[in-house]
Amino acid sequence: MNCCYCSKTISVHTDSGNYRKVAGWVKLRTKGANEVALAEDLFEYACRSCMARLKSGVPVGQEKLL
C-alpha cells in the first residue's frame, strides 16, 4: 500500500500507527473512544507522519514553506 498523500510505501498489516480511511456510523460517547459500526473500507491509506502534519493543521507538502 502507498500513502495517499506522500506515496511512501506502508504496510497496514505490520506497521502500527498508519491510518486507513473508512466510512461508517459513529456511536457517540461522552467518555472514552467513539466506535465505528458497519465500517466500509475506502481503500485509502496514510502514513503516520502525513497524518501528524494534517492533524496539526499543516498541509502535506507545505511544511517546507514554513
Tens of pLDDT along 1-44?
A: 899 999 999 987 777 889 999 999 998 888 877 788 999 999 99
What pLDDT does 34 receive? 78
Instruction: Please indicate, yes or no, if residue 37 is contained in any of the structural domains.
Output: yes
Instruction: Please indicate, yes or no, if residue 42 is contained in any of the structural domains.
Output: yes
What's the number of domains the chain is made of? 1
Q: Which domain holds residue 46?
A: 1-56
pTM: 0.73
Q: How far apart are CA 19 and CA 54, in angstroms?
A: 12
Instruction: Please indicate, yes or no, if residue 47 is contained in any of the structural domains.
Output: yes
Q: Supply φ then ψ for residue 21, to 5 degrees.
A: -85, 130
